[in-house]
Amino acid sequence: MRRFPAAVVFSQWRHTVAAKCAARVETRYSRVLTPQANSEQQKQPPRVSVVVVSRNRAAMLRRCLESIEASDGRASLQVIVVDNGSSDGSAQLGDDFPEVQFIRLPKNFGLTKALNLGWRAADAEYVFFLHDDTEVQPTTVGLLAGALDTHADSAAVCPLLVDGEGRPAPQLGTLPPTGVWRPATPGAPVAVEFPRGAALMLRVYFIKAIRQIDERYGQFGSDADLAAEIRRASRKILLVPAGLVRHEGRSGYSAMEAADFLSSRAVFMGKYHGFGAGIGARITAVLSGLAGFRLGELKYTLAGQKIDGTQE
């Protein structure tokens, strides 16, 4: 057998090992540096997450979703419907809107809890809260998002609410909330104190900063509380009249809904004006129901009942 000098053997071994290592390194880094398939790439977050809360208004919800589907840049929107225990087939609309995410609740947990579920499911940095009795114009979502992009001092923006004839609809209230609304005025963007929550876009980080929308409110009061929190943080709510949203609204409320509103007002007064103011608001609510012989409202008010999932 022919023998090779040790130096030659070692040199050959070294070159063999070096070649194997180089091959391994090349394979390793080629896997890292080579662009991966689209399914493995990180998806871009949506521009805006639209959250619609609905209960037993399937026809309105359908029109609302159809208007969102017709929005400019629809592909960049995430649409979430939180269904508050509907029994009219609203939850089955998902078959007609496959790109919409439905969160189906077993019963009516009220607007505030539904909004919190909605924004927690949002992937965008902006969340656009809508009631199911609204219809957005194609350019509205983009206009509102653009306003938040360019106004760093604004924590929220809202469109101009209009009625079926295109006239400004009741939208602006005062704090503490009274349940009375007045129409906004078309024109240039302007800061407002308290817009109706039927159509309101917020920065998600602001909601995270206050942890969540205060769930001491049931069906009513969450929009007033957000407006107060924004004011307390020295931020603004900007009305952008160029963005239009049709709002149907309604004029009548049940006894439980009326009691829920009075309860929410008492919560608001206690939170922002002190314990005594909160107690005073509750006493006023009881006396008001008694004086007006609104016995159903009085019953729920005395029980402290609100629409939050605890109601029968």
Token pair, residue 203, equals 């920065």
Around Cβ 273, how many Cβ atoms within 10 Å?
13
136 within a domain of the structure (yes/no) = yes
- DSSP symbol at 199: E
pLDDT tens-digit profile of 218-265?
Answer: 999 999 999 999 999 999 999 999 999 999 998 789 999 999 999 999
Both 204 and 297 in a single domain?
Answer: no
- DSSP symbol at 45: P
Owning domain of residue 116: 48-247
The pLDDT of residue 18 = 45
pLDDT tens-digit profile of 263-307?
Answer: 999 999 999 999 999 999 999 999 999 999 899 999 999 999 999
The pLDDT of residue 83 = 96
User: Domain ends where: 247, 268, 286?
Assistant: 247
Q: 38 vs 24, which has greater pLDDT?
A: 38
25 within a domain of the structure (yes/no) = no
- How many domains are there within the chain? 2
Q: Write phi, then psi, for 224 (nearest 5 degrees).
A: -65, -40
- Rounded-to-integer distance, Cα 94 and Cα 87, Å: 14
Q: 159 vs 18, which has greater pLDDT?
A: 159
Q: Is the pLDDT of residue 41 over 70?
A: no
Q: Which residues pair with 238 in a beta bridge?
A: 157, 191
32 within a domain of the structure (yes/no) = no
Both 106 and 177 in a single domain?
Answer: yes
100 within a domain of the structure (yes/no) = yes
- Rounded-to-integer distance, Cα 132 and Cα 54, Å: 5
Q: Which residues pair with 153 in a beta bridge?
A: none
Both 130 and 226 in a single domain?
Answer: yes
Of 286, 294, 115, residue with least CA distance to 199: 115
Both 65 and 173 in a single domain?
Answer: yes
Strands of the chain, DSSP E = 48-54, 77-84, 101-105, 126-131, 134-136, 154-162, 170-172, 182-183, 190-192, 199-203, 236-247
Q: Is the peptide bond before 176 cis (omega within 30 degrees of 0)?
A: yes
- Rounded-to-integer distance, Cα 113 and Cα 125, Å: 20
Both 55 and 127 in a single domain?
Answer: yes
Please, are residues 155 and 168 in contact by the beta-carbon 8 Å criterion? no
Q: Is the pLDDT of residue 12 over 80?
A: no
Both 242 and 281 in a single domain?
Answer: no
pLDDT tens-digit profile of 159-216?
Answer: 999 999 999 999 999 999 999 999 999 999 999 999 999 999 999 999 999 999 999 9
Q: To the nearest whole percent, how much of the chain has pLDDT over 70?
A: 87
> What CATH number does the domain containing 87 carry?
3.90.550.10
